[in-house]
Amino acid sequence: MLGFKHRRRERIRAKPFPAAWQRIIERNVAVYRRLPPEDQRELLGHVQVLLAEKDFEGCGGLELTDEIRVTIAAEAAVLLLHRDTDYYPELKSILVYPTAYVVSDERPVGDGMWTDGDEVRLGHTAPTLGALVIAWDDALRGARMLDDGSNVVFHEFAHQLDFEDRVVDGTPLLEPRQYASWARVLSPEYDALRRAASEARPTLIDQYGATNPAEFFAVLTELFFERPTELRERHAELYEELKGFYRQDPATWPAGG
């Protein structure tokens, strides 16, 4: 079965990439313009597989277009470069709202207490959903603006990578040799971010990452691809761990784009 899936994906990746789709990526996905040509080619192949295998659905009155599907798939494909991948195996559907959406939810407020209420979201995913929800206007803004450290597609698809081992703990599937250094580096950095958040001290890392280890990994992924030079300068060991996992070195990419 795995052999059949692999061969099918090879055939999909080998298909000519539609020129209209490439124009969308060149226009909307700033990170694509910074990648070397071989990485661009790999990314386009991943885009074709993602579009073939994942169901996209417009929500809240949004009419799906190729621009929406291709832009989101291209951003998601960035996280797959250079790695053996099963293309987000826990994910079946990508639900796209036109803008931020409101959900009724329970959330912790401390001391074992929870509160009910409406929550405005730009994106969401969970291991039991088989789906990922994205606000299109914020996804497009994040794709076009690479250097602000905020990218909802990177964030939500990083959660999908975390889910691949069926444990939501901020540790994706790693090479066996990587687990020890991952824990040695990320655990104290996570604790430091929680202390800074509790003391209202400014940090390079988005303090939403202090919520739990899963959110820590997701916001680190945003920062790694969006502001890699600053991350490398101020959190060198964190940068090296993410570089080892993603097998990319975005701090060396050319500026601009």
pLDDT at res. 41: 97
The pLDDT value given to residue 124? 86
Dihedral pair phi/psi, residue 113, rounded to 5°: -100, 150
The pLDDT assigned to 114 comes to 46
Which domains are delineated in the chain?
19-252 (3.40.390.10)
Nearest residue to 228 via CA among 239, 212, 217, 218: 239
Q: What is the pLDDT of residue 4?
A: 87
Residues (pLDDT < 70) of the chain are 1-2, 102-122, 256-257
Q: Given this model, what pLDDT does residue 103 score?
A: 65
> What pLDDT does 32 receive?
97
pLDDT tens column, 221-240: 999 999 999 999 999 999 99
Buried b / exposed e over 185-202, threshold 16 CB at 10 Å, is bbeebbeebbeebeeeee
